[in-house]
Amino acid sequence: MTVKPTVALIAHDGKKDELLAWASFNKNTLKNFHLIATGTTGTLIEKELHTPVTLMNSGPKGGDLQIGSRAVEGDVDILIFFWDPLSAQPHDVDVKALLRIAVLENIPTATNRATADHIISSPLNKYSKAAQN
């Protein structure tokens, strides 16, 4: 059985609508991935895409750390994290830890829609159809 690569999806409250719009636009591409997400974001994505999402806790309750742990274990292939730079986050330390792990593990990471579009569609993305042609 072939294991699908994993995309982790996270969005702060002020960016959830933007992530949902991006995920909806990329719905057919995202079907090729195993999706994991922090609690609230993942629930919204499941409803929007009508596809299963493995749910972690919400970010403030440790969800960012759970995804970071999976990244350390090699279980995250792409990180899409629409964070809100204009709002203080009570779990900012966890956010920084997750982003640090993504850099250390060389995980392609998008923190905005433009970068997410590049990562998900790039022929350099070994999981994209363009790279397989």
- Which residues are catalytic, by number? 64
Rounded-to-10 torsion of CA 84, 88, 91, 94: 50
Q: How many CB atoms lie within 10 A of CB 107?
A: 18
Name the nearest CA neighbour of 75 among 4, 126, 23, 10: 4
CA-nearest of 83, 93, 62, 92 to 9 is 83
Name the maximum alpha-carbon separation found in the chain: 44
Indicate the burial class of 89 (C-beta count within 10 angstroms; 0-12, 13-18, 19 or more): middle
Query: How far is residue 4 CA from its own chain's centroid?
Result: 14
